[in-house]
């Protein structure tokens, strides 16, 4: 079944190995004096794009898959979780120690974003899903 879903994602140009995905590399996932500049850089690159995003670690392990409308606002909320007390789901984001790469693909329609997010999570099995669900 995963292969069929991956083929459908490929056909629709949403497969993660597709050139339609954009990226910002070497993003330190922490709060410090540079966080505001970093978030501005992310916003400058993404604009107000709506779609799906993927966090990968330095070894390109898929940590998290999410959706946003716009994506930037959702990513900004992930950074805000770093201020919260350590408990699920905040603990997962606080545990990220190395810089990440943020990949994203634009998808305008909310229904399509929802479906593609679930299809990618099913086929790519992000670390967060295993961590949170168990």
CA distance 107 to 18: 14
CA distance 93 to 105: 21
CATH number of the domain bearing residue 64: 3.40.1440.10
Given a cut of 60, whether residue 7 has pLDDT beyond it is yes
| Number of structural domains the chain divides into | 1
- Domain hosting 42: range is 2-133
Over residues 57-107, the pLDDT tens digits come to 999 999 999 999 999 999 999 888 777 665 555 567 777 888 999 999 999
CA distances from 86 to 31, 45, 75, 91, 127 (A): 14, 30, 18, 5, 18
């Amino acid at each position: 079944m995963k292969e069929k879903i991956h083929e459908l994602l490929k056909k629709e140009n949403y497969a993660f190995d597709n050139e339609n995905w954009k990226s910002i590399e070497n993003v330190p996932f922490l709060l410090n004096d540079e966080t505001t500049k970093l978030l501005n850089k992310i916003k400058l690159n993404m604009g107000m794009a709506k779609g799906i995003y993927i966090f990968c670690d330095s070894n390109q392990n898929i940590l998290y898959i999410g959706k946003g409308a716009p994506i930037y606002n959702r990513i900004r909320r992930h950074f805000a979780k770093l201020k919260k007390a350590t408990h699920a789901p905040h603990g997962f984001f606080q545990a990220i120690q190395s810089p990440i790469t943020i990949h994203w693909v634009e998808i305008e329609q909310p229904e399509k974003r929802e479906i593609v997010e679930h299809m990618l999570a099913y086929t790519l099995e992000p670390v967060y899903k295993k961590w949170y669900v168990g």
